[in-house]
Structure 1
């Protein structure tokens, strides 16, 4: 006769390990995925929305939030952390849409949020092929030094939205190296480290990687495992290098302008923080029309801090890709982006993103470097108030 107590003890070693604080790896991943949504809400003043007009990250967060709302265990786990009320009052009917999805669709949508199934949820014995696929992904763990990488993810997202980076289907270029960004399973992936290259039994080169995921986890999967996962993922993408493609060119694209102006604005807002740092806070933009026309309605536009502005510098340009140029400025001065939330005319919180705490002479230097082509890999250091390479 089987002693249930003995059987329980034997099975205990196979249970999902608990982390410090009593949470399993799976629970930490659920929380990490929810925290990404919370950061989005803090930055945009609203919940992520569905729709083809939204960027890929907002659509991902919207799907993830729907799934978290629809799962009882996720709501129970996240309720103490939900200070924004993202889960309260949610339409539980969302569960219907979850139940209508097949396993592959559901796993793809929940990637980075719910994580792998717990041993207590065993449904069937997996085939050897399924086991190999799971082993290829390797065990994900919480990235203890994620604060080092989070700015890189934020910068990559910003560069993707501004057009400095673009996405390309994985396969045209199957190379993987340190510093590469990919989209896998709807999640942004960064290759932080690569170990020594070795040969597989069939002679192919391979290496152990340290891969960081945008939800704050990491894994040490093999290079060829990452390649296989990207090949299998129909939505798998590579993010192009931010320096790919010319800023000035002889062929015209939709966002190119024959002539225009780089303008630097200073706010006349009476907001206490703005008033105190008025000489340092600047907005940098590019327009193909008249600057005066662009800022005519500043006092009624949250983009301009709902206040009049003055033009403190302007630079004429010709034959330039406006989107790339604005993206370059935002990349350079991202470490000094103004973190300020104001209420718009309707009482909604707005966080303008094109204002920076940077002195005018440094912005002037950045423009000169853009024009002479020496801007690559340069970024603004707020501590020294200088451009550093």
Structure 2
């Protein structure tokens, strides 16, 4: 034993003295691998590659976009070949990204990876894929600064992410409803954005109204930008989304799934009454109601019922939604159009005065807009303004 040197002694004790090899991968390669491992975990859980489609979960769609980006990187094919047992990179796009032209941050944005360590493996972490153009567009909107009171907003973002995962909220493409109101949530450039404050109305150079916003982002920053600037940024961002309001409850199914029950139909009627006031404003006088059965059955005896102005009616519009709470929806319509409720009293068949409640002096296109906002979950706080004949934020 005394004649052994240190290495021989360690070897006799069974200790491996072979020097550990340091990793030869660059930080960029490590990030590419980490981004692909998220996709592999999805494949292991679901037995398939993530796919595109509005009917897919938002996080699956994000992984699908990330996979498309990886397929465009020649470097990724060589680097990930040993990991790609399912062969998800095989259908590579003919459009190849210029990898050498990308810096570290741009590459991360291309892959939807926000940190080198990727400490959070859960798919509920919001990571959108952004192109370099999208990054520049976001930077043009407004400078983001640290949010000094972010602790006030952190619980809100945590709750929203839970609601997205559970389906209480939905992420809808921005554009169908371009309104931006106090308390709205959006996804912009991969970050949750919360409209915390809406300032006083101002006139834009083109004469249209605008307002200064305080927008808080889930990464702890904020920006003070104009509403129209935020709208433009959301339009430019292909992954820009509006989050629906959970306060709408089960009322606003955007599509009917096989397991859903069609529980309600919104109907809009126009009266054929010869009452002078109704005749004069026939194109504006509409009855808005909700029924769980056929509208034709509901109005079969309209000429005998005071609620239908003791006259025949014509159906001018119907909207079928899944999972509707009919009473809640009718009350909501009455609130939105309260300022335009028809002030008309007629006598029923027995000579008793009756004031129908579900008739409103509202153009049909405004009712259609209201239903669209209902479906998107963006009707909160809106009301009809008779003077401008449009829906506005209720003050």
Structure-2-length-normalised TM-score: 0.35
Larger relative contact order (CA 8 Å, sep ≥ 6): 1
Structure number with greater Rg is 2
